[in-house]
Structure 1
Amino acid sequence: MKSYDYLIVGGGIIGLSIARELINRFPKASICILEKESDVAHHSSGRNSGVLHAGFYYTANSLKARFTREGNQEMTSYCDENGLKINKCGKLVVATDETELEGLNELKKRAEKNGVELHWINEPEVHLIDPNVKTFKKALYSPTTASVNPVEVCQTIKAEVLSKGVDLICNTQYKGRSQNEILTNNGIFTCNYFINAAGLYADKVARDFDFGDKYTIIPFKGIYLKYAKNKSDVTTNIYPVPNLKNPFLGVHFTKTVDESIKIGPTAIPAFWRENYSGLKNFKLNEFFSILLYEAKLFMKNSFNFRSLAFEEMKKYKKSNFIKLSLAMVKNIDKNGFGQFMKPGIRAQLLNKETLELVQDFVDEGDNHSFHILNAVSPGFTCAFPFSRYVVDKIQEKQGKKLREIKENIS
């Protein structure tokens, strides 16, 4: 039996960043990360777009608005200080017609409320940034949007926390809880405080601690398609005006750290949590549970789920996927795209009572455990300030416990 002050389940960007924040605050604390895979960042944290978002998509009172702005600055500095690859190519958000200009106006208002740098630019100015971009009358330019290599970032944070004394135990899967013991396939662990950063399985872990009862994870598969012809036809990130009623930003062009071009992602409803390809990692109980909720969403058409599901399924056909990107550029070789890239799964939280996709961060906890139930995009960008927020709340809950003990003694 191994015992720690803090035990974290999940070796993605959130788990790693929380470990980093804890060890920086409490250098003498014993901290351990349990990761079920052979290394960190095997799932969403290593399979995302790598884009560092600026923070203008989110309403001003949201945690996402606050943490994205701060996280963009901190992650950019972290990459610069550690010599990590970063492409500071910015982002253009373009409109296709008059109706989409109102969407741009809303994004500009949100940027101003969130304190995020975002500029109106006209068509001639757009073409100075990227001559291949097509927009209607005007566009929005975000100079602080950048691209990183998410695996490289996670590996660097891993090396940092290990050097400071944090333990990382891989190939160790959370199996359950018995009283104060954490059961795994690699033995039993105990801790003074338990932190759930399990991503796709965060809701299941939380329920073992009597949290997260009104939520469940609905997985969405995100796939990118690489433009194999060259790296020069697009020089910046190009995004459409999103539907702000759901958490997906639509198919867009991404410039990676090595200047490559890709389009995506999809937001295809998946049927089990690690539904990456074929029947790999298929779990019958997950299949029936997720199918039940997706059927409810389909029948009630919550957040226009029917059309979303149909439109997303069409993206499995390469030509349909490519067609969606053509409205944002003047010239692109439709035959220049290669194969679909490694898919990722978005661990999207669903409120079971309202059948709404939860758009902001969600956490629950007490003086024994803390559970990160929803930390989807832009969770990677937000990781550092979000981890401070988490540790602040943990300290607050632990402090409350100590105060109660003192009061009972007195």
Structure 2
Amino acid sequence: MSKIYQYDYIIIGAGIIGLTLAKELMSKYPQSTIAILEKEEDVAKHASGLNSGVLHAGFYYTSDSLKARFCVQGNQLMKSFCKENNIPVNQCGKVVVAANAEELQGLYELEKRGKKNGVDVELIELDRLKEIDQNAKTYQKALYSPTTASVDPKLVCSKLKNILIEQGVQINFSTKWKRIKNNIIYTNKGQYACKFLINAAGLYADKIAKQFGFAKNRIIIPFRGNYLVYGSKKHSIKTHIYPVPNLLNPFLGVHYTLTVNNKLKLGPTSTPAFWRENYKGLSRFNLQEFLQIIYYESKLFLFNSFNFRRLAISEIKKYNRKSFVRLAKHLSHNCDPTSFDTWSKPGIRAQLLNTKTLKLEMDFIVEGDSNSLHILNAVSPAFTCSFAFAKYLVSEKLQKTID
């Protein structure tokens, strides 16, 4: 009979959510035994390590959402963690700019949401915008967010990994979930059991949750995000420059992003992917996933849910670099479009779809019982929110189920 590895807590997934959850559990229950099971060979190999690294301020989200609840605190906690561990932070701030009078109304809505959420945000005039970033271009006013910043997400996750290992957390890499049966977790590296399981498996969180009876009428639809990187020429952009987004969907539009070392990127795309890890070509192709996702994407296209048809067509156009760069032309006065010459490695957004309503879930979704907790829709700004979100999950969701 195979040995069964026993732990108090087992976390599936070594992305930013899994790592911050392990840190919070160790802080609250230092005598507990914790294991993280990760199918890749290191932490943050997917969205957690391939996101833009932007620390959002929290003004996009309605005040009744979990995203709004944790973004402001998460921004502060992430910056504190970076300061404590000598991880660089680019405190560049952000401006959201309008293209016309209609989008100006969007700025007023974003300011209203920001104030309600306790965000340091202000509407500024053209002369103030010029002081912040003379290249930013807007219609009459812009929204300024001084607390928006950038970090290196891989560096953050790597530091968390080292801290957790020092604290005694067992991180088992190249360990793939297979199934759970009679409370025994079967993997390619042996069998595990625990008092409580936390599912933070990102792109596969819904598939694991369904084995526990959760994620009913929900499926993850992957969207591939890619950035164009500004070449070797020196740029003069001083801050993140974002357009006014369509607040009915969870994507923020093509924008200028400054990395932690001040490199300039343009993006992202929001391309519907055809299988969960559809990064490039036929890499990691999965026929079952392909057929399932194509089925739902076809339904979205047919019924045009959340203007999916227009989204899909516009994303196809972004494969043309010149066409993609033109989308951001209205954001700045002086930024050489020909210098955006290199595609970055894409990331994939694990976006949850409600299969009954055919609508994308806009907020974090968490389901669970006395045996398990499942984080089903930890999309942007999940990286920013991670430390605050982990505190909430451990102190409220997990504590209640244990009690």
Query: Normalising TM by the smaller chain, what interval?
Result: over 0.9
Which residue pairs with 1:334 in the alignment? 337
- Determine what percentage of the aligned residue pairs are the same residue: 55
Give me the whole-angstrom Cα distance separating, in 2, the residues matched to 1:196 and 1:121: 43
Which residue pairs with 1:296 in the alignment? 299
Q: Are 2:343 and 1:356 equivalent residues in the alignment? A: no
Which residue pairs with 2:321 in the alignment? 318
- Partner-residue secondary structure (3-state), 1:33: strand
Which residue pairs with 2:230 in the alignment? 227
- Say whether the 8 Å CA contact 2:266–2:340 is kept in structure 1: no
- Partner-residue secondary structure (3-state), 2:131: helix
- Partner-residue secondary structure (3-state), 1:201: helix
Q: Are 2:62 and 1:59 equivalent residues in the alignment? A: yes
Q: Are 2:194 and 1:197 equivalent residues in the alignment? A: no
Which residue pairs with 2:213 in the alignment? 210
Which residue pairs with 2:398 in the alignment? 394
For residue 229 of structure 1, report the CA deviation from its aligned partner.
Answer: 3.8
Give me the whole-angstrom Cα distance separating, in 1, the residues matched to 2:292 and 2:48: 25
Q: RMSD value over aligned CA atoms?
A: 0.7
| TM-score of the pair, normalised by structure 1 | 0.96
- Say whether the 8 Å CA contact 1:177–1:208 is kept in structure 2: yes
User: What residue identity is the alignment partner of 1:208?
Assistant: Q
Which residue pairs with 2:174 in the alignment? 171
Of residues 17, 27, 48 in structure 2, which corresponds to 1:14?
17
Of residues 356, 368, 375 in structure 2, which corresponds to 1:372?
375
Give me the whole-angstrom Cα distance separating, in 2, the residues matched to 1:366 and 1:299: 36
Which residue pairs with 1:403 in the alignment? none
- Partner-residue secondary structure (3-state), 1:206: helix
- Partner-residue secondary structure (3-state), 1:88: coil
Count matched residues.
Answer: 399
Of residues 23, 28, 31 in structure 1, which corresponds to 2:26?
23
Which residue pairs with 1:405 in the alignment? none
- Partner-residue secondary structure (3-state), 2:75: helix
For residue 231 of structure 1, report the CA deviation from its aligned partner.
Answer: 4.2
Give me the whole-angstrom Cα distance separating, in 2, the residues matched to 1:359 and 1:69: 18
| TM-score of the pair, normalised by structure 2 | 0.98
Q: Deviations over 1:51-83 (max 9, x none)?
A: 000000000010000100110111111111111
For residue 232 of structure 1, report the CA deviation from its aligned partner.
Answer: 3.0
Which residue pairs with 1:37 in the alignment? 40
Q: Deviations over 1:286-343 (max 9, x none)?
A: 0000000001101110000000110011111111110011110111212211211000
For residue 155 of structure 1, report the CA deviation from its aligned partner.
Answer: 0.6
Q: Deviations over 1:209-229 (max 9, x none)?
A: 111111100000000000114
Of residues 242, 248, 252 in structure 2, which corresponds to 1:249?
252
Give me the whole-angstrom Cα distance separating, in 2, the residues matched to 1:264 and 1:198: 25
Give me the whole-angstrom Cα distance separating, in 1, the residues matched to 2:388 and 2:354: 25
- Say whether the 8 Å CA contact 1:231–1:259 is kept in structure 2: no
Which residue pairs with 2:150 in the alignment? 147
For residue 187 of structure 1, report the CA deviation from its aligned partner.
Answer: 0.5
- Say whether the 8 Å CA contact 2:11–2:199 is kept in structure 1: yes
Give me the whole-angstrom Cα distance separating, in 1, the residues matched to 2:295 and 2:384: 32
- Say whether the 8 Å CA contact 2:317–2:324 is kept in structure 1: yes
- Say whether the 8 Å CA contact 2:235–2:335 is kept in structure 1: no
User: What residue identity is the alignment partner of 1:3?
Assistant: Q
- Partner-residue secondary structure (3-state), 2:379: coil
- Say whether the 8 Å CA contact 2:205–2:375 is kept in structure 1: yes
- Partner-residue secondary structure (3-state), 2:158: helix
- Say whether the 8 Å CA contact 2:214–2:367 is kept in structure 1: yes
- Partner-residue secondary structure (3-state), 2:175: coil
Give me the whole-angstrom Cα distance separating, in 1, the residues matched to 2:400 and 2:99: 48
Structure 1: gaps (5+ residues) = 400-410
- Partner-residue secondary structure (3-state), 2:376: strand
